[in-house]
Chains A and B, each alone.
Chain A
Amino acid sequence: MTMRTPLKTVRGLGSAKEGADHFWLQRVTGAANALLATFAIGLGVHLAGADHGEVTATLKHPLVALPLLLFLVSAALHMRIGMQVVIEDYVHAEGAKIALLMLNTFFAIAVAAAGILSILKISFGG
C-alpha cells in the first residue's frame, strides 16, 4: 500500500518544519519501551517484597542499572511527545498551550533526571 503523493517532494517538511520526526520518535521510543518496560515489570516482580538491602544490591548490578537508565530516557522522550499531542488536541488558548508544553518538557526531564540520579547514586554506592 502506498500513500505517497507528489507532495513528498515538497521542501520544508510541512508546516511544522519537522516532517515525520515526531511520528518516528514515538515509534522508536515505543519499540524500546516495549522491551525495557517488560524488563522493568520483570524486575518489579522479582523484587516484590524485597527489603532495602536486596533492592539496592540488585539495582547496583550494571545489567540491571543500564536497562533501567535506558528505560527512563526512552520513557521520558515517549511520554513528552505523547503528552504534547494531548495538550495540542485539547488546549486551544495560545498562552496556556505554550505554558503547558513548556511544563510538559520540564516534567519529563525532571522525572528522568531524578530517576537517573537515584540509580547512579545506588550504583556508585552513595
Chain B
Amino acid sequence: MADAGKQTMADANAKAGSQAARPLSPHLQIYKPEVNMVMSILHRITGSALYLGTLLLVWVLTAAATGPEYFAYVTGLLGTWPGLIVLFGYTWALLHHLVGGLRHFIWDSGHGFDLKTIDVLSWGTLAVSTLLTLAIWGYVLLSAGGADL
C-alpha cells in the first residue's frame, strides 16, 4: 500500500533523535560578506522601503488634491530636518533599487557573470546611486536655497 510507505518514512522521521543535530545548510553568518551579496540584500531592503515609501508619494499627491492649507502643512513637515532626511533616504533607496535593477537586466541578458565584472557592477551600483543622490540633493538645496522641500 502507498500509505504504508508514507507511514514508514514519517515514523522514521519522528524517531527520537533522528532530527537532532543534523548539519544545517550554512546561512548568512557563515560567509564573509561579498559586495554582490551585500548589494543583493540592499536590493531587497530598498525594495521593501520603497514599498512603504509609496505612502509618502501618495500622501503628497493626496495633499495636493486636498487643498493649499493641507498641502502647505505636509510640505512644511517634509521640509523639517527629519522630513528632509526621510526624503534623502527615499531618493537613495529609489536610485539604488533602480540602478540595481539595471544591473540585474545585464545579468538577465546572460552577461557579466565573471567574478571581476560582478564586483565592478556591484560596487558601481553603490557608487552611482550614492553620487546621483548627492548630485540631486546638492542641486535641490543649492537652487531652492535651503530647507523648503
Listed in ascending order, the chain A residues whose CB lies under 8 Å from chain B are 1, 27, 30-31, 33-34, 37-38, 40-41, 45, 48-49, 51-53, 55-56, 59, 68, 72, 75-76, 79, 82-83, 86, 107, 111, 114-115, 117-119, 121-122, 126
Closest A-B pairs by Cβ, 5 of them: A118-B65, A52-B68, A49-B144, A118-B61, A52-B71
Main secondary structure of the interface of A (DSSP, over half): helix
Residues of A within 8 A of B48 (CB): 83, 86
Main secondary structure of the interface of B (DSSP, over half): helix
Q: How many residues of B contact A (CB 8 A)?
A: 35
Residues of A within 8 A of B149 (CB): 48-49
Given the interface contacts A49-B144, A119-B61, does A30 sit within 8 Å of B101 by beta carbon? yes
What's the A-B contact tally at a CB cutoff of 8 Å?
85
Residues of A within 8 A of B101 (CB): 30, 33-34
Cβ of B65 and Cβ of A126 under 8 Å apart?
A: yes
Residues of A within 8 A of B71 (CB): 52, 55
State the Cβ distance, B41 to closest chain A Cβ, in Å: 12
Q: How far is the CA of A97 from the CA of B30 in the complex (A)?
A: 28
Q: How far is the CA of A75 from the CA of B50 in the complex (A)?
A: 10
Residues of B within 8 A of A119 (CB): 61, 65
10 contacts between A and B (CB under 8 A): A1-B110, A34-B102, A48-B148, A52-B67, A59-B64, A79-B47, A79-B54, A83-B48, A115-B62, A122-B64
